[in-house]
Structure 1
C-alpha cells in the first residue's frame, strides 16, 4: 500500500470517527413537571409530543454540525499535505507527515466547531421542548405553570 493510499484511508477513518461523535439531541436536559392534578399518563403523552416537536426544531442545526466537522478535517489534511511539501522544498518524503499533522489539526478544529454547534442544538431543543410543555400547562423551570384552563387557544 503506497503512502497516498494510507493517508487517504487515515483521513477517512478520522472523518468517520468524527462523524460518529456528532449527533442530534436525544432528549431534553431540563426538568419539566406536570401541573398539580394532571394525570401522569397525559403528561407522558405530552412529553412524547413535545420531544418530537423539539427534535424537528433542531434538525438543520444537527446536520450543520456534522458537515462542519467533516469539512474541517478534509481541509486540514489538504493544507497539511501542502505545508509538508513546501517545508521540505519539494521533497515528497514528508508529505505524509504534513498531511497527518494537518488532518489531526483539522479534525481537532472540526470537533471543536461541531461541539459548539451541538451545544447550540441542545439549547434550541430545550427551548422548543419547554415552550411546547409550557403551552400544555406544565411547570417549566423559571416559569409559573399557567392556571388550569388558561392555555393557548
Structure 2
C-alpha cells in the first residue's frame, strides 16, 4: 500500500510538469487586434456582414486546420522535453563526480525543465504573435477592399526629454591677501 505522503510527493512533480508545458500551447487567433470602422453612410448590418466575411477570410488565410499553431506547440513541448533530458544527463555527470548521481540527475532534470519550459514558452509567444500578425494583415486587406477604414494602431509616445546643460559659471579666485613685511 502506498502511503498518502508518497502519493502527494509523486503528484507534485507531475503538476509542475503540466504547468510548465501548459505555457507552451499556441492558440490560433480568435479575432483581429486592429480596429475597423464603417465607411460614411454605411448601415451597421452591412458593416457587420463585411466584418464577418473578412474574419472568415483571415481565419482561412492563417491556416484553418491549425497546423501552424500545432507545430509551434509541438516545438515548444519538445524544447521543454529536451531541456529536461539534457539537464538530467548533465546533472547525473556532475552528481557522479560529487558522489551522488541520482540527486544530481534530479536537480539537473528540474533545472532543465525550468529552462527548457521557459524557452518553449518564449518561442510559443513569438509563434502566436506571428499568427496574429498574419491574421491582422489578411483582415485589414479584406476590410479595405470592401471600402472600410482601418484605424492605425495608436500608441502613446511621450515627448522626448530635452537635456540642456547649465551655463558654466566661472567664479574668480578670491583676492590674495599679503601681509606687510
- TM-score interval, normalised by the smaller of the two chains: 0.7 to 0.9
SS at match of 2:37: coil
Matched, 1:44 2:45: no
* Aligned equivalents of 1:63, 1:44: Cα separation in 2: 30
Question: Structure 1 unaligned runs (5+)?
Answer: 143-153
SS at match of 2:72: helix
The structure-2 alpha-carbon separation of the partners of 1:88 and 1:99, relative to structure 1 and needing over 3 Å to count, comes to same
The TM-score with structure 2 as length reference comes to 0.67
Contact map agreement 2:96 2:104 (CA 8 A) in 1: no
Aligned position for 2:32: 28
Q: How many matched pairs?
A: 138
Pairs within 5 Å for 1:95-114: 95-114=105-124
Aligned position for 2:60: 56
Contact map agreement 2:24 2:124 (CA 8 A) in 1: no
- 1:96, distance to aligned residue in structure 2 (A): 1.2
Task: Identify the structure with the greater helix proportion.
Answer: 1
Contact map agreement 1:35 1:139 (CA 8 A) in 2: yes
Aligned position for 1:140: 150
- 1:19, distance to aligned residue in structure 2 (A): 4.1
Pairs within 5 Å for 1:7-18: 9=14, 10-15=16-21, 17-18=22-23
- 1:40, distance to aligned residue in structure 2 (A): 0.8
- 1:15-64 superposed Cα distances (whole Å, 9 cap, x missing partner): 2x2245x3221111111111111111111111112112212222343233
Contact map agreement 1:7 1:100 (CA 8 A) in 2: no
Structure of larger gyration radius: 2
RMSD over equivalenced CA pairs, Å: 2.3
SS at match of 2:31: coil
The TM-score with structure 1 as length reference comes to 0.79
- 1:7, distance to aligned residue in structure 2 (A): 8.9
More moved, 43-52 vs 57-66: 57-66
SS at match of 1:32: strand
Match of 1:86 among 90, 93, 96: 93
